[in-house]
Chains A and B, each alone.
Chain A
Amino acid sequence: MDSSDTFTLLPLHLDPATKAISYQGTPTTALTTELTALNDLHRSLLTLDTPNGIPPPPVPVNPKRTAQINKLRESGNDALRKGKPADALGLYTLALKMAAQRPPWEPAGLVREELAQLYGNRAQAYMAGQGWAEGAVDAKCSVELKKVGNAKAWWRRGRCLVEMGRLEEAREWVGEGLEFEAGEQDLVGLLKEVEVLIEKRKTWSG
């Protein structure tokens, strides 16, 4: 870090039409990523309608986007209940996209919560259509975002792994899940199932 009264002057250039900032000369990778991030942020700041164009404090959140995401999720759930996993998949994906496009200064905790739920639901939609590989990744995403109070996602990845025949991995995963969700019936049941299958496999190969 430079001392407080000096700085390194960078040869930056402002595009008069697009207002995009670029670097004159050969920039480093860090500089390129930083300038891209800056220009993106500038664009998203422009969409604001606050006075002075500064981002509002994180709370309260603009309820419009939340409502839209919830609506998409509900219709996704409905589609899944009616046995149309492909439709549900599309709706969840759309909702995910929307949640991920939340302006960056809105509460990260909220984004986490929404993404965790949506990834969990999408994992289920994948599972309904036998997409075990995608389901496994989505469930993992969900768990990664929300470890506690997310037993469904733990269970879903476990199930997907079992379906793909990755029993050892499934056992490890479900065991880890039980550390967070002690005594969760579904997980206990799945763990038992996995152990039975592993035992069976041993007797077959042995």
Chain B
Amino acid sequence: MVDWVNLAIPFAYLGVVVGSLYTFSYLYRKRQAAHAASLAPWFDPHLQRNIYLSLLHLDPPEGTPKVPDGVLRAALLRRATEDIHRIVAVRNAKQALTTLLQRGSVGDELWQRFQRAEKEVEEEIRDVVNEANAFSPNWGQSIFQSANEMANNAIVRKRTEELQAQVPKEKEWWAKKLAGIQSDFMKELDEESGAKKATAAVPVSAVGSKGSDDDTVLVEAGGPTASQQGGGKKKKKGKH
């Protein structure tokens, strides 16, 4: 005859143990998830994605045409370009972050944030490829190539524009300096013609005695020879 009452005791014990473990694990995981979700996102809000999806969901008022496909394609391309920046950022950060994590220099939290960003970027790419294929078959294969070139081109253009923006400043500086040199030189000449010592060699050393006027000498003395040399170079170098 089985003693049901005595047998129930170990089962009840097991039940309590398993139940409490389960509850603990459930609560723990929930808190972890909530914590991970509350972590600051790695990237800023994806503006291009928001624009694209907003355009897709734009409900034009009655009588006006729908958003044309061209605009949507442009918006998708912009979105892909921004994704390229993010892919590059994730790739660059990954190696450094792994090393830092192994050394224990950064916390676990940063790593979690990063992993989430990585996953999001992956999803984002898949999404863009799907959208591109919906516009035109096989565009998904080349959209990121185009976007990559767009991102690189933007860098090239920004850099050259920045540098070219220096031209007015440099020109002004040089014009001022040139004017200064000329007036100084004229002054020196006047002084010297007064002293009746205006040989070709003397102005050089006379001007050179003042520190700020060194350049006078260089420009005036170096001018003709330099331009001759420059001329020689030009002949040699002009052909591409």
Contact = CB atoms under 8 A, between A and B. Distances in A.
Nearest to A42: B74
A155 B127 CA distance: 49
B170 A53 contact: no
B105 interface: no
Given A38-B78, A127-B230, A144-B160, A12 B174 contact: no
Contacts of A148: none
A86 interface: no
Nearest to B76: A54
Contacts of A100: 157, 160
B231 to A, nearest CB: 8
B71 A42 contact: yes
A80 B175 CA distance: 24
A9 B214 contact: no
Interface stretch (B2-10, B24-32, B53-61, B92-100): B53-61
A31 interface: yes
Nearest to B52: A7
A194 to B, nearest CB: 10
Nearest to B121: A1
B170 to A, nearest CB: 4
B197 to A, nearest CB: 17
Contacts of A102: 153
Given A1-B124, A54-B139, A133-B174, A9 B54 contact: yes
Interface string B60-104: 100011011111011101100000000000000000000000000
A34 B49 CA distance: 11
A7 B53 contact: yes
A1 B117 CA distance: 8
A145 interface: yes
A47 to B, nearest CB: 11
A201 B240 CA distance: 36
Nearest to A140: B163
A128 B132 CA distance: 51
Nearest to B209: A204
A204 B217 contact: yes
Interface residues of A, number: 77
A108 to B, nearest CB: 3
B232 to A, nearest CB: 11
B205 to A, nearest CB: 7
Interface residues of B, number: 86
B159 interface: yes
B145 A58 contact: yes
Interface in A1-56: 1-4, 7-12, 14, 16, 19, 21, 30-31, 34-35, 37-39, 41-42, 45-46, 51-56
A111 B156 contact: yes
A41 B153 CA distance: 13
* Best-surrounded residue of A1, A2, A12, A106 (most CB of chain B within 10 A): A1
Contact of B146 (A35, A57, A167): A57
Interface of B: 41-51, 53-55, 57-58, 60, 64-65, 67-71, 73-75, 77-78, 117, 120, 123-124, 127, 132, 135-136, 139, 141-143, 145-150, 152-157, 159-160, 163-164, 166-167, 170-171, 173-175, 177, 205, 208-209, 211, 214-215, 217-219, 222-223, 226-227, 230, 233-235, 237-240
Interface of A: 1-4, 7-12, 14, 16, 19, 21, 30-31, 34-35, 37-39, 41-42, 45-46, 51-58, 73, 77, 80-81, 100, 102, 104-109, 111-112, 115, 117, 119, 121, 124, 127-128, 130, 132-134, 136-137, 140-141, 144-145, 152, 155, 159, 162-165, 167, 186, 197, 201, 204-205
The 5 closest A-B pairs by CB, nearest first: A165-B215, A204-B208, A108-B152, A52-B136, A42-B74
22 contacts: A4-B123, A4-B127, A9-B57, A10-B54, A12-B58, A14-B67, A34-B51, A38-B71, A45-B73, A51-B136, A52-B135, A52-B136, A58-B148, A81-B238, A105-B149, A105-B150, A133-B173, A144-B160, A165-B215, A167-B218, A197-B222, A205-B214
